[in-house]
Structure 1
Amino acid sequence: MKTALLILLMFCLAEADDIRWEFQQFKTQLEEQHAAKFSDLASRLTVSETKITEQKHKADQLQSSNEQFQDKLNLLTKQQDCLKRKLCEQDGFTYGDGLCYYISTETKTWDESRQWCRDRHSDLVIIKSKEKEDLVVSFNKPVWLGLTDKVTEGIFQWVDGTPLTTPTYWRRGQPGFETSEHPNTGSDCVDYYDGSQPGYPTIGWSDAPCSDTLYWMCERSLC
């Protein structure tokens, strides 16, 4: 009986050793697998961080280049504006909004005013935007505009040959066309009226006789 128990105990101890050995082997295997995965993840992380560092460096270089380019562009823009201003000022014109402008200090008829402009490679001002209208208004003078219906009564045309389109800035009661009751008024030229005359407070465009003498405004392109 004792011998059988001893044999059984020895058998159990041997089985326990086998289990212990298998467990150790399994543990070692798991550690090796996790170590490999950890090493792989660490390697991939290092590569990723290296790429991020390289991209940040490139981004910093690009930002620096962009700032340098913007500085050069700003400098060139200032130089260009300076040259345009000087080109305008050679003939007493003023540079603004990409064009050269001249506001007279004396008065002439519409035709005389236009000829004065054309003698200086320009023409009477053309208004096709609110910004241009605001520019004319800012001078606070009644001036001739480059607009007329000389060719066909009631059909206005700019001096560059284009027809009048919106926006328009006629003052109240204008334009005044010739009629059977009021023929030959001669109001074929358009001026900007500044509301300075007593009894006529509203400002805007007026259809006036071309023989009137007013200030004028010339403009010319730099190109």
Structure 2
Amino acid sequence: MDDYVNKEVVEIDKVIEGNQNGAMRRVTTETHPSAPDGSGRRLYGMVAVSFGMLCVLQVALNISLRLVSDCLTEERDQLPASYNDLIIERDQLQKEKDYIMGKCSNPGWNKFESCWYFVSSESKTWSESRQDCVERGADLVIVNSREKQRFLFALNKRAWIGLTDRETEGSWKWVDGTPLRTSYWIIDQPNNGRSLSSFPEEDCVELQNGQDQPEKTWNDLNCALKRIWICELCNNNLL
């Protein structure tokens, strides 16, 4: 009888212990649900970063496309203005061409390189001579190269050129305001009239003919004396 009772007690204890172990396993399972390990978290982070970079690239692309569109629109709007400028420039060039061609048909004009030269048939003072050139759309000749000096020498004329020191004694300038850099003076010139007491001031320059050296023909002279003159007409003289 006692053995039977003890056997029953043991069986009851096993059942209770089994139930307790099962309950503990359920508690453990419910309390600790499965979670991603470290590699899973890194994967999620990389996906998030990549998505953020794509968003930044998309924004940058949108901005670039907008800037390109704005530039193209601005260039398109400027096309009519550029076309009009070309038309104006073409008309100006045609006007200059017609003006020069008109000069070609007039007697007294000679062409050298890209310019035209007028040699007067009457004599005037230096100032009057320059005024005549200006009225012709030109100015007194500027000698800025050895080739031009030799061209003028070949004309064999005693004539005014566009060089003076009327503003400041000894500071020779051309009629366009540029200073004298290369000169072709006769020996002992300029002397400002020291050899002629009746004309003490010699502030204008003439070409002297009859010289035997092409690069030594300039002489300073009193501006009030009368000489023929040489006008020069180049594109930069045109208005």
TM-score by length of 1: 0.55
Identify the match of residue 191 of structure 2 among 171, 176, 179: 176
Q: Is the 8 A contact 2:189 2:220 kept in 1?
A: yes
From 67, 90, 96, give the equivalent of 1:78: 90
| 1:133 match | 144
What residue in structure 2 maps to residue 216 of structure 1? 230
Q: CA deviation at 1:216?
A: 0.6
More strand by share: 1
SS at the partner of 2:190?
coil
- Report deviation, 1:67: 5.3
Conserved in 2, the CA contact under 8 Å of 1:124 and 1:218?
A: yes
SS at match of 1:183: coil
Q: Percent identity?
A: 11
Q: 1:137 to 1:197 in 2, by over 3 A?
A: same
Note closer, same or farther for the CA distance 1:72–1:19 as it changes in structure 2 (3 Å cut).
Answer: farther
Q: Whose radius of gyration is greater, 1 or 2?
A: 2
Quote the residue 1:56 is aligned against.
Answer: 68
Show the counterpart of 2:31: 18
Q: Which residue of 2 aligns with 1:144?
A: 160
In the alignment of these two chains, the number of paired residues is 203
Q: Distance in 1 between matches of 2:129 and 2:207?
A: 15
2:125 equivalent among 111, 116, 119: 111
| Distance in structure 2 (CA, Å) of the matches to 1:105 and 1:203 | 20
Alpha-carbon separation, structure 2, partners of 1:104 and 1:171? 21
Indicate conservation of the 8 Å contact 2:118/2:230, yes or no.
yes
Indicate how the Cα distance of structure 1 residues 8 and 222 shifts in structure 2: closer, same or farther if over 3 A, else same.
same
Q: Of residues 15, 20, 23 in structure 2, which corresponds to 1:7?
A: 20
Give the Cα–Cα distance (whole angstroms) in 2 for the partners of residues 49 and 115 of structure 1: 66
> Equivalents in 2 of 1:159, 1:40: separation in Å?
71
Question: Which amino acid counterpart does residue 133 of structure 1 have in structure 2?
Answer: N
**Unpaired segments ≥5 residues, structure 1:** 95-100
User: Deviations along 1:158-217, whole A, 9 cap, x unmatched?
Assistant: 898x9x8734543344312222x5434696641357x9942x34357432574555x511
Root-mean-square deviation over aligned CA pairs:
5.4
2:197 counterpart SS class = coil
SS at match of 1:20: coil
Deviation string 1:4-37 (CA, Å, 9 cap, x unpaired) is: 476346424532343225x27xxxx999999888
Paired residues for 1:163-202 under 5 Å: 166-167=179-180, 169-172=182-185, 173-179=188-194, 181-184=195-198, 189-191=204-206, 197-198=211-212, 200-202=213-215
Gapped runs of 5+ residues in structure 2? 1-12, 110-114, 154-158
